[in-house]
Amino acid sequence: MISVEDIEDMSALTRAEIDALAEHEHFTTYDAALMGNYLMQIHHGPQKVHEMICDDIRAAMHADDIQHARALFTVLRGFLTENPQAARGASN
């Protein structure tokens, strides 16, 4: 049987990025890994992942959870380093 860890390892996203998507969509880690992998394969999908992580950062800031916002910002920086096409204004 395939475990959640196996799905995460096969995903195009890191575990921290998957966790950010799970938080944003209120999904299980398993479902977020599948959705994230799908989004990374479609046109403008990486931009959608970028947008979701940014939404999570805004939500953390509005909740005065600066520590969580910083952690998510670190996730965002890593995501954009690996996926520069996801940046707003990037030509695809």
Say if 55 falls within a structural domain. Answer: yes
> Is residue 91 very low, low, confident or very high in pLDDT (cuts 50, 70, 90)?
low
Say if 92 falls within a structural domain. Answer: no
Say if 23 falls within a structural domain. Answer: yes
Say if 91 falls within a structural domain. Answer: no
Q: What are phi and psi of 57, to 5 degrees?
A: -65, -45
What's the pLDDT at 90? 58
Alpha-carbon distance of 19 to 27, in angstroms, equals: 9
Look at the chain and report how many structural domains it folds into. 1
Buried b or exposed e, range 68-78, using 16+ CB within 10 angstroms: bbebbbebbee
> Is residue 92 predicted with pLDDT exceeding 60?
no
What's the pLDDT at 44? 93
Say if 76 falls within a structural domain. Answer: yes
> Is residue 64 predicted with pLDDT exceeding 80?
yes
Q: Name every residue whose Cβ is closer than 8 Å to that of residue 33 and which is 6 or more positions away in sequence.
A: 4, 7, 8, 11, 13, 18
Q: Give the model confidence (pLDDT) of 31-46 as tens digits.
A: 999 999 999 999 999 9
pTM of the model: 0.87
Q: What is the span of the domain harbouring residue 61?
A: 4-86
